[in-house]
Amino acid sequence: MILQQESLVLFITIFTIFIAATSSPTRAQKSNSSACESSCGTGKSAKVVPYPFGFSRGCPIILQCDHTVGDVKIGEFQVQNITPNVITYTEKPGHNFSLNATFDEVDFSKYDALVIPGGRAPEYLAINESVLNCARQFSDSGKVIAAICHGQLILAAAGLLKGRKCTAYHALRPVLIDAGAHWIEPKTMMDCVSDGNLITGVIYKAHPEYIQLVVKALGGKIAGSDKRILFLCGDFMEDYEVTVPLQSLQALGCHVDAVCPKKKAGDFCPTAVHDFEGDQTYTEKPGHNFILTASYEGLDASSYDALVIPGGRSPEYLALDETVIALVKKFMQSKKPVASICHGQQILAAAGVLKGRKCTAYPAVKLNVLLGGATWLEPDPIDRCYTDENLVTGAAWPGHPQFVSQLMALLGIRVSF
């Protein structure tokens, strides 16, 4: 199975972040408030941010398909890139995604929302009667249903789009119109449509608004999001580690800028997909082309409330840039929140700002952290993140829910249901 990488993870990540910032894990688990279910399959691309987002908010999320809990290949993501002068998208292998529940054992009535990622998986899930019955059960109960990219194929096959306003990846227009939908032509790839309990989006670039609409539909309210966040980017930073936190913060309502030395607004940074696939270390595959939102030259660092440093391979060479070192020192000296994940701590060590601090990182960066004068905090399990005064650190992208939630706490951003 192939999952379109960014949609599945984005939605789940954002939901997690929202709930974790507003209530304790125990309370969230006991109340099961705003529990979400995500129907998955191989080839889904629109799941990367929603999944971590939901967990960061403490929202229970079930990932399900016709496989069992712990299966991995089921969660094989696609990296779908929009390439200039090419009529359609290109596909490359993405992350392997593990399930946390078994489809046949899930009680759909216990969940408040259904999220359907895009990619190619919906093509075959749309002919699975069990999946269609799942969607119908959510619809019959009036619960929130969110679908993005090609996920709307499942709703069309279930007969749930008749007379409903919706959008999707533009190639779905003929089939959705034939299914009786009131098609809303997307003006951009970031468009979303809300019609009662139904929320639809075009592709992963729509995640910020897509998640905002789902949170609103579930009765969520966001406070303290009038913040400006700066992302320090570079070529071959980890795909998830820039996209998930950035789109999560955008979904919260923050103004987010992404910059890279020697590049300007509109330029892109190629990203890397790092995963463990049975070797002694992680493998690397090409990820999305990440578009920068602002120019690095002439940047006014004082206008931002926090700095986020993604991991991947970019920190290795960014740590050699004196302007980057000066930027990091400025944020740390001003006591503004700094959140760094994976290999990002290589930059912090090079800047000399870890002396006397407590932090974690990807295990292979432990030497940098110790030589930088910090107290090493073991990332056990690998999704463990830590906050030490104004510094948030994480070891790898599985820690995004904690990573974003802890940054939210420092920024005073809260989501309540």
Amino acid at 178: D
Dist CA 234 CA 344 (whole Å) = 11
Main-chain dihedrals φ then ψ at residue 131, nearest 5 degrees: -65, -40
Dist CA 275 CA 95 (whole Å) = 6
Count of other CB atoms within 10 angstroms of residue 225:
18
The residues facing 192 across adjacent strands are: 201
Count of other CB atoms within 10 angstroms of residue 210:
34
Please identify which residue in the block is written with the tokens 């002439």.
298
- Is residue 44 within 8 A of residue 117, CB to CB? The reply is yes
Main-chain dihedrals φ then ψ at residue 277, nearest 5 degrees: -130, 35
Dist CA 126 CA 191 (whole Å) = 23
HSE, side-chain direction, 13 A CA sphere, residue 206: 28
DSSP secondary structure string, 223-260?
A: ES---EEEEE--TTEEHHHHHHHHHHHHHHT-EEEEE-
- CA 258 vs CA 216, 220, 304: distances in Å: 26, 27, 12
Residue 25: asked if its preceding bond is cis (omega within 30°), the reply is: no
Please identify which residue in the block is written with the tokens 């290999």.
343
Instruction: Point out the residues that are catalytic.
Output: 149-150, 342-343
H helix count then E strand count, the chain: 14, 25
Dist CA 127 CA 105 (whole Å) = 20
